[in-house]
A and B are shown apart, each in its own frame.
Chain A
Amino acid sequence: MLVDLPGGWNPLLGRLAWSQIPYDNPILAPLFVAVVLGGIAIVALITYYGKWGYLWKEWLTTVDHKKLGVMYIIIGLVMLFRGFVDGLMIRTQQAWAVGPDSSGVFGALHGYLTPFHYGQVYSAHGLIMILLAATPLLVGFMNIIVPIQIGARDMAYPYLNALGLWITAAGAALIMASLFVGNFAHNGWFGYAPIFEIQYSPGVGVDYWMWTLQLLALGTTLGGINLLVTIIKMRAPGMTWFRLPIFVWASLSANIIALTSFPALQVALGLVAADRYLGAHFFTAGLGGNLMLYTNLFWIWGHPEVYFVILPAFGMMSEIFPVFSEKPLFGYITMVLASFAIAGVSWLVWLHHFFTMGAGPDVNSFFSVATMLVGIPTGVKVFNWAFTMYRGRLTFTAAMLWAIGALFLLLIGGLTGMMLAIPAINYMVHNSVFVIAHFHSMLLVIVYAVFGSVIFWFPKVFGFKLDEFWAKTMFWLFTTGTVLVFVPMYMLGFMGMTRRLDYVFNVHWQPYLLVMEGGIVVYTLSVFAFFVLLYVSIRDRVKNRVGADAWGTSRSLEWLTHSPVPFYNFAVTPHVNARDEAAWRRANGIAGVQPAKYVDIHMPNNTAVALYIGALTFVLGFALTWRIWWLCLASLVAIIVLMIVRSYRGDPGYIVTAAELERMEREAIARERQIDGSAGEPVVGGAPAVGRPAMAYERSDLPTTSTPPSMGPGARH
């Protein structure tokens, strides 16, 4: 039943062979050496400082949503860097390989990348930026911020949360493995039928692409379920629906999209796998296959995915603008409605990615009008942000600059999107770099919102602010790069330059391509500025420490707890009285009021099972890619056995006693009083542990970490 393969195969190693290692490639071989040396250096440093135990206990086996979120963001930033390097390579090739007289090195006729290698670079660039940079960055922020904003101690399913992270990490590892073992897909990040069929792409590149996407889809679906249940079920008392911070609303709408759309991607790729592995004819040319079925199925996921990543970015902007305008968000209800309108319409616009399919005027008109409808709720959001700033007391911090930058980019990207929504225009610029410039404007909205959020929420997570000077330097460098790269790209699009050219035939385009190359150099400088920013901020961390309310004008619930947020988030669950609870308490002079007494709380245990399963999914993906059947079976069985064993053992969790909690709270409060004097009097004496645990995991027979304290008065007022 399995298809006949071109090339060698053996039962033990599948298609894996020495010839698959690109050690003769002048770009990949040195990179591989550098990666190995870097890896050895990191392992040596961790060993030298004796940090393996810390790494294992505090990070690799953690189920703490904040640490998992931080790891998501680290994956996102690392992959953002890798995707950026891919972009740098694309820009350099296009600036170099212009006209028949341009030189060529490394086996390329023009430029330095052969067409096959260039195809892999742009395919990897797209896949990485969408699914391994934007998605983990946003999922990471949702992971960290949503539970704190709704007053929860953790996500609804802490173990599932860890599982989602490690499956995502496995996806990242798989695409990185494709650099040094075998090759990657050359069919663009979204793939075309029938080029990805085994007859036309006999190598393992398409298999890497397919299984990487499958792993990421799985991880994101699990994360989506977790966030939805967390928001629905875990809100603190008083946190009614219309008191939810907008970022939570944005996460809710985004994850509804994720839950409903990612399965479509999994099916689309599963059918590609059936074609490539079992010889099915879903998307083949001939034998009853349908090429456009793939494109439709992919974009039925693909377009909702675009809104899945943009909605949380909108939520982030909605959190940043009010804080630095010292006003509540303008039009809260319309913001909520707009988010859900965008989420709803996201399902009705997929065909605008291929108007040129030729589905006829009625179909194209429907999708054209549906696409234009998106402009209405998005416009509502833009005006809401503008009115939030209007007559506000604006502070142009680095976070605010990034948010304003995102607003400008949204305007440009949104208006060009409206142009593309018109089929008549779309036919003219289809597959031109005008489209590329448009969606890069939109995805840069996400990047701007993410960097704004990194600066905005960094003090909440780590307890100290990032350096404002370097954050602003990075912003201006990054923005200069954006202008220099994408303004010429829009112009070239109008001139008819098509996307994905490894050789540019028209020498009159060279000046524009050189300006873009200059832009990417400025982008590179902004990357260095980011590293300096991290270095300077960590060096000066003592000077930059902050209290609970890091910005002094913060509004939502997360700013009520300590910075950095303790592992239990809130010692006592807050009771929410207003939409902007932190702002309301501050306005009424009760922001520093601490709980009157503490009770035992119940927390989930760490577990290594999620890490093991994540590692096994990597093995499974790798084995499927190389068709090592025994390893596929072994890893699949191991995953199932681990899940069953874990379900049998369960997680009883553990109790943090009231006394322990009080000690930690006293320390945190004392630290904060030293910094800004904002925290209220620590409670005197504390209170006894009550019989029932504060979190209803419904176990009372659990081991405690220390003995209950003695009775004390402890009054709030």
Chain B
Amino acid sequence: MSGHASNTPDPKTAVLWDTEYHGHDVISTRSLGFFLYLLSDGMIFATLFAAYGVLSYQHSYFGGPTPADFVKPWYTFSQTIALFLSVLAYGMGMTALKRRSRGGLINGLLGAFVLGVLFLVLDIHDVLDLAAHGITVAASGGISAFIVLTQVHAAHIFFGLLWILVMIYQVLRLGFTADTVGRLLSLRMFWHFQAVVWVFVYIFVYLWGYMS
């Protein structure tokens, strides 16, 4: 005990049991856990970006089409606008939550949902268009990395949209409880995070691919 005796209280007066200890705060505990999950999600994207980096040399495309041949920067920019407006709408909804306005929140979530669907529709249209020109995952290593990275992001958007629908239903049925508010906060982190990832996808995959 000698090493840290100065930190330890007198055993005669020390508090041994905390009867009134109320444990941890539910929402902050959940938010921390969800934040950690997003870190692992970030690692997934980091690894995919690394794979894309390794597979974006000239020889990775095996003489076939490269992103410079098929990327339409303005088309993809419209996706960027849709996703960012979706995040903005979600943020407006969350400010309504602070005012405890259920209608405001639902409007924000609906706006985020519609704009997210728009993003996804543009993405699917793009993928189908590429496939019609024979540009699929099976084309070459470089195209595999391009398509898998962008579509893993799109899959995140799909599940985020599903989650928004679930939250609209839960807020309508259950109101603002610790559970629903905690989930809305986690979903906000998730939605913002996917937009941040999109910034990297747009710059390093679409624009960089277009210009190289």
A342, B156: Cα distance in complex, Å:
33
- Taking the closest CB of chain B, its distance from the CB of A218, in whole angstroms, is 10
From residue 574 to 627 of chain A, which have CB atoms closer than 8 A to chain B?
Answer: 574-575, 577-580, 583-585, 587-590, 593, 595-599
- Taking the closest CB of chain A, its distance from the CB of B161, in whole angstroms, is 13
Q: Tell whether, in the assembled complex, residue B3 and residue A328 are in contact, meaning their CB atoms are under 8 Å apart.
A: yes
- Of the 9-residue stretches A97-105, A488-496, A536-544, A693-701, which lies at the interface with chain B? A693-701
With A264-B43, A290-B54, A328-B3 as contacts: A236 and B137 at CB distance below 8 Å: no
Q: Tell whether, in the assembled complex, residue B16 and residue A590 are in contact, meaning their CB atoms are under 8 Å apart.
A: yes
- Of the 9-residue stretches B45-53, B98-106, B191-199, which lies at the interface with chain A? B45-53
From residue 626 to 646 of chain A, which have CB atoms closer than 8 A to chain B?
Answer: 640, 644
A287, B15: Cα distance in complex, Å:
70
**From A221, which residue of chain B is reached at the shortest CB distance?**
B40
Asked if B22 lies at the interface with its beta carbon under 8 angstroms from chain A, I say yes
Asked if A288 lies at the interface with its beta carbon under 8 angstroms from chain B, I say yes
Q: Tell whether, in the assembled complex, residue A599 and residue B19 are in contact, meaning their CB atoms are under 8 Å apart.
A: yes
From residue 268 to 292 of chain A, which have CB atoms closer than 8 A to chain B?
Answer: 268, 270-271, 274-275, 278-282, 284, 286-290
Asked if A7 lies at the interface with its beta carbon under 8 angstroms from chain B, I say no
Q: Tell whether, in the assembled complex, residue B19 and residue A596 are in contact, meaning their CB atoms are under 8 Å apart.
A: yes
Q: Tell whether, in the assembled complex, residue B138 and residue A281 are in contact, meaning their CB atoms are under 8 Å apart.
A: yes
Besides A237-B21, A280-B141, A696-B24, 8 new A-B residue pairs in contact (Cβ under 8 A), listed by A number:
A1-B136, A268-B47, A289-B141, A575-B16, A648-B173, A650-B179, A695-B22, A698-B26
Q: Which residues of A contact B36 (CB under 8 A)?
A: 225, 228-229, 259
Q: Tell whether, in the assembled complex, residue A287 and residue B62 are in contact, meaning their CB atoms are under 8 Å apart.
A: yes
Asked if A234 lies at the interface with its beta carbon under 8 angstroms from chain B, I say yes
Indicate the member of B4, B39, B142 with the most A CB atoms within 10 Å.
Answer: B4
Asked if A393 lies at the interface with its beta carbon under 8 angstroms from chain B, I say no
- Taking the closest CB of chain A, its distance from the CB of B126, in whole angstroms, is 16
Asked if B1 lies at the interface with its beta carbon under 8 angstroms from chain A, I say yes
Contact with A along B41-78 (1 / 0, CB 8 A): 10110011011001100011110100000000000000
Q: Tell whether, in the assembled complex, residue A287 and residue B55 are in contact, meaning their CB atoms are under 8 Å apart.
A: no
Asked if B148 lies at the interface with its beta carbon under 8 angstroms from chain A, I say yes
Q: Which residues of B contact A229 (CB under 8 A)?
A: 29, 32-33, 36
Asked if A357 lies at the interface with its beta carbon under 8 angstroms from chain B, I say no
Q: Which residues of B contact A274 (CB under 8 A)?
A: 137, 144, 148
- Taking the closest CB of chain B, its distance from the CB of A696, in whole angstroms, is 5
Q: Is the interface of A mostly helix, strand, loop or mixed?
A: loop
A160, B40: Cα distance in complex, Å:
16
With A267-B48, A280-B137, A585-B16 as contacts: A288 and B142 at CB distance below 8 Å: yes
Q: Tell whether, in the assembled complex, residue B3 and residue A332 are in contact, meaning their CB atoms are under 8 Å apart.
A: yes
Q: Which residues of B contact A232 (CB under 8 A)?
A: 32
With A225-B36, A267-B47, A694-B23 as contacts: A577 and B170 at CB distance below 8 Å: no
Residues of chain B having any CB pair with chain A under 8 Å: 1, 3-4, 7-9, 11, 14-26, 28-29, 32-33, 36-37, 39-41, 43-44, 47-48, 50-51, 54-55, 59-62, 64, 136-145, 147-148, 162, 166, 169-170, 173-174, 178-179, 183
What are some 9 contacts across the A-B interface (CB < 8 A)? A229-B32, A232-B32, A237-B18, A281-B144, A575-B15, A596-B19, A650-B179, A694-B21, A697-B26
From residue 256 to 271 of chain A, which have CB atoms closer than 8 A to chain B?
Answer: 259-264, 266-268, 270-271
A573, B15: Cα distance in complex, Å:
11
Q: Which residues of B contact A260 (CB under 8 A)?
A: 39-40, 43
Q: Tell whether, in the assembled complex, residue A694 and residue B144 are in contact, meaning their CB atoms are under 8 Å apart.
A: no
Task: For the complex of A and B, list the 3 residue pairs with the smallest distance between their C-beta atoms, beginning with the closest.
Answer: A288-B141, A588-B11, A280-B144
Choose from B9, B26, B39, B179 the contact partner of A577 (Cβ within 8 Å).
B9
Q: Tell whether, in the assembled complex, residue A572 and residue B19 are in contact, meaning their CB atoms are under 8 Å apart.
A: yes
Q: Tell whether, in the assembled complex, residue A288 and residue B55 are in contact, meaning their CB atoms are under 8 Å apart.
A: yes
Q: Tell whether, in the assembled complex, residue B137 and residue A644 are in contact, meaning their CB atoms are under 8 Å apart.
A: no
Q: Tell whether, in the assembled complex, residue B178 and residue A281 are in contact, meaning their CB atoms are under 8 Å apart.
A: no
Asked if A233 lies at the interface with its beta carbon under 8 angstroms from chain B, I say yes
Q: Which residues of A contact B142 (CB under 8 A)?
A: 288
Q: Which residues of A contact B166 (CB under 8 A)?
A: 644, 647
Contact with B along A518-536 (1 / 0, CB 8 A): 0000000000000000000
**From A289, which residue of chain B is reached at the shortest CB distance?**
B141
Residues of chain A having any CB pair with chain B under 8 Å: 1, 153, 156-157, 160, 221, 225-226, 228-229, 232-234, 236-238, 242, 259-264, 266-268, 270-271, 274-275, 278-282, 284, 286-290, 293, 297, 300, 328, 332, 572-575, 577-580, 583-585, 587-590, 593, 595-599, 640, 644, 647-648, 650, 690, 692-698, 716
With A282-B145, A578-B1, A590-B11 as contacts: A597 and B24 at CB distance below 8 Å: no
A328, B1: Cα distance in complex, Å:
7
**From A644, which residue of chain B is reached at the shortest CB distance?**
B166
Q: Which residues of B contact A589 (CB under 8 A)?
A: 11
Q: Which residues of B contact A156 (CB under 8 A)?
A: 24, 29, 33
With A221-B40, A267-B44 as contacts: A287 and B141 at CB distance below 8 Å: yes
Q: Which residues of A contact B145 (CB under 8 A)?
A: 282
Q: Tell whether, in the assembled complex, residue B23 and residue A225 are in contact, meaning their CB atoms are under 8 Å apart.
A: no
Choose from B14, B23, B29, B47 the contact partner of A297 (Cβ within 8 Å).
B47
Choose from A279, A290, A574 the contact partner of B55 (Cβ within 8 Å).
A290
Q: Tell whether, in the assembled complex, residue A267 and residue B137 are in contact, meaning their CB atoms are under 8 Å apart.
A: no
- Taking the closest CB of chain A, its distance from the CB of B140, in whole angstroms, is 4
Q: Tell whether, in the assembled complex, residue B141 and residue A263 are in contact, meaning their CB atoms are under 8 Å apart.
A: no
Indicate the member of B4, B15, B18, B29 with the most A CB atoms within 10 Å.
Answer: B18
Q: Which residues of B contact A280 (CB under 8 A)?
A: 137-138, 141, 144, 147-148
Q: Tell whether, in the assembled complex, residue A288 and residue B1 are in contact, meaning their CB atoms are under 8 Å apart.
A: no
- Taking the closest CB of chain B, its distance from the CB of A91, in whole angstroms, is 37
**From A263, which residue of chain B is reached at the shortest CB distance?**
B43
A235, B9: Cα distance in complex, Å:
19
- Taking the closest CB of chain A, its distance from the CB of B55, in whole angstroms, is 6
Q: Tell whether, in the assembled complex, residue A290 and residue B60 are in contact, meaning their CB atoms are under 8 Å apart.
A: yes
Q: Tell whether, in the assembled complex, residue A264 and residue B47 are in contact, meaning their CB atoms are under 8 Å apart.
A: yes
Q: Which residues of A contact B170 (CB under 8 A)?
A: 647-648
Q: Tell whether, in the assembled complex, residue B19 and residue A282 are in contact, meaning their CB atoms are under 8 Å apart.
A: no
Choose from B22, B32, B55 the contact partner of A694 (Cβ within 8 Å).
B22
Q: Tell whether, in the assembled complex, residue A284 and residue B1 are in contact, meaning their CB atoms are under 8 Å apart.
A: no
Q: Which residues of B contact A696 (CB under 8 A)?
A: 22-26
